[in-house]
């Protein structure tokens, strides 16, 4: 029996969906060769929205498939750094990844929509786009590169940290060296104000900040807290200037050869975990900010609503860059959808 038909038979048996058999086999009995293994690689710590959701997804799938599908989670760039993940997925070295939305934009420039500073005022407008037709359009683009998008997850809004001085106005960025995730919009945010913006993989950021090759970075509370950036940074500006979420992606060839029952189970579980992940992201964002405050190792400045409005206006050239490269139609549609939320 070939591998695919073996897997099909096994799925039919354990899910009892065939109509010709309702026998449910014990996970222990699953032949190792027939087991579906999904290696899920990511770059953050476990105690983060993505880290915890990956574990939860793995547990639920294991339970619900009675051990016939095993999701092996590799956090913290254990297997691949960002930058290497896409290739690893396309080679089939891993079957699932969840890169930051900003990293998606290297392959799909329209994904930079998530990077536009102050485009989304709250998580509700983010979800409105993610779960609506525009989010669907973005996920469908993945097919061009033989990938399939299963979900979009949250991390949260980004803030700025640095080692030199408090950042209250965008002109305070001048002369500083920042780490960014990707080229394009993210780099433009800094270059525009006379700062330097170097692209580095997430796993290298702590060391680069510590030894001073970069002086600052932008990230969510969760990443700042779990990667201990506050230990090697003096100033945190709570700016909420940009959103960072994730695309949960599988290799399309791998996906297509799965039995339909396995795909259904994965999709259903992923939708459930996505709701849980978004709630968890919101909670962790608050809890971990409290922990950073409690530790008193970094000076914190929180931008006022008026200051945020000024930053938004000062960032207008970043929007012009996006429109020049991606046309204004997509941006206008996103604005229309998120304004409907307000
Ligand atoms: C970063 O590189 O700063 C983040 O994208 C890491 C992550 O996956 O949250």
At 102, the pLDDT band (50, 70, 90 cuts) reads very high
Pocket test for ligand 1, best of 46, 82, 156, 187 (most atoms within 8 A of CB): 82
**What was the pLDDT predicted at 341?**
59
- Closest residue by Cα to residue 334 from 142, 110, 169: 110
Residue nearest (by alpha carbon) to ligand 1 atom 3: 202
At 38, the pLDDT band (50, 70, 90 cuts) reads very high
**pLDDT top residue among 325 and 3:** 325
At 13, the pLDDT band (50, 70, 90 cuts) reads very low
**% of the chain at pLDDT higher than 90:** 86
CA dist., res. 285 & res. 184, Å (int): 26
CA dist., res. 342 & res. 337, Å (int): 9
**What was the pLDDT predicted at 26?**
43
**What was the pLDDT predicted at 336?**
84
Low-confidence winner among 5-14, 64-73, 155-164 (lowest mean pLDDT)? 5-14
| Helix/strand/coil for 97 | strand
Per the structure block, which two tokens stand in for 81? 């750094």
The whole-number average pLDDT for the span 67-74 is 98
At 31, the pLDDT band (50, 70, 90 cuts) reads low
Pocket test for ligand 1, best of 100, 153, 197, 277 (most atoms within 8 A of CB): 100
**pLDDT top residue among 21 and 272:** 272
Count the Cβ atoms, other than its own, within 10 Å of residue 278: 20
The whole-number average pLDDT for the span 166-188 is 97
Q: Is the pLDDT of residue 174 over 70?
A: yes
Atom of ligand 1 nearest to the CA of 48: 9
The full 3-state SS of 19-65, as one line of letters, equals: CCCCCCCCHHHCCHHHCEEEEEECCCCCCCHHHHHHHHHHHHHHHHC
**What was the pLDDT predicted at 14?**
45
At 22, the pLDDT band (50, 70, 90 cuts) reads very low
- Letter string b/e over residues 222-254, b meaning 16 or more CB atoms within 10 A of that residue's CB: bbbbbbebbebbbbbbebbbbbbbbbbbbbbeb
Please provide the average confidence, as pLDDT, over all residues in the chain: 91
At 37, the pLDDT band (50, 70, 90 cuts) reads very high
Kindly list the protein residues whose Cβ atom lies closer than 6 A to any atom of ligand 1. 43-44, 82, 100, 155, 181, 202, 219, 223
Q: What is the CA radius of gyration of the chain?
A: 21
The whole-number average pLDDT for the span 244-249 is 98
Q: Is the pLDDT of residue 5 over 50?
A: no
């Amino acid at each position: 029996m070939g591998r695919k038909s073996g897997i099909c038979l096994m799925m039919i048996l354990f899910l009892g969906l065939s109509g010709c058999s309702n026998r449910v086999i014990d996970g222990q009995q699953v032949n190792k060769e027939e087991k579906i293994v999904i290696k899920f690689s990511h770059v953050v710590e476990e105690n983060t929205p993505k880290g915890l959701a990956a574990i939860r997804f793995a547990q639920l799938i294991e339970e619900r498939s009675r051990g016939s599908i095993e999701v092996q989670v590799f956090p913290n760039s254990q297997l691949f750094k960002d930058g290497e993940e896409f290739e690893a997925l396309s080679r089939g070295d891993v079957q699932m990844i969840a890169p930051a939305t900003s990293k998606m934009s290297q392959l799909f420039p329209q994904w930079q929509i998530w990077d536009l500073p102050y485009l989304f005022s709250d998580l509700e407008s983010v979800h409105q786009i993610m779960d609506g037709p525009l989010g669907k359009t973005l996920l469908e683009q993945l097919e061009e590169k033989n990938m399939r998008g299963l979900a979009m997850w949250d991390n949260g809004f980004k803030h700025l940290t640095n080692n030199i001085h408090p950042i209250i106005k965008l002109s305070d960025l001048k002369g500083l060296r920042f780490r960014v995730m990707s080229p394009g919009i993210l780099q433009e945010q800094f270059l525009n104000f006379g700062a330097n913006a170097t692209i580095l993989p997430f796993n290298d950021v702590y060391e680069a900040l510590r030894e001073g090759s970069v002086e600052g970075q932008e990230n969510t509370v969760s990443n700042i807290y779990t990667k201990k950036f506050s230990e090697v940074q003096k100033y945190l500006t709570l700016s909420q200037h940009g959103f960072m979420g994730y695309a949960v992606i599988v290799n399309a060839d791998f996906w297509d050869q799965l039995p339909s029952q396995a795909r259904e189970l994965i999709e259903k579980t992923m939708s459930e975990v996505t709701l849980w992940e978004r709630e968890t992201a919101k909670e962790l964002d608050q809890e971990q900010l409290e922990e950073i405050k409690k530790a008193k190792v970094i000076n914190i400045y929180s931008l006022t609503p008026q200051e945020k409005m000024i930053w938004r206006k000062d960032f207008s050239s970043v929007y012009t860059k996006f429109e020049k490269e991606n046309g204004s139609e997509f941006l206008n549609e996103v604005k229309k959808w998120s304004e409907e939320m307000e």
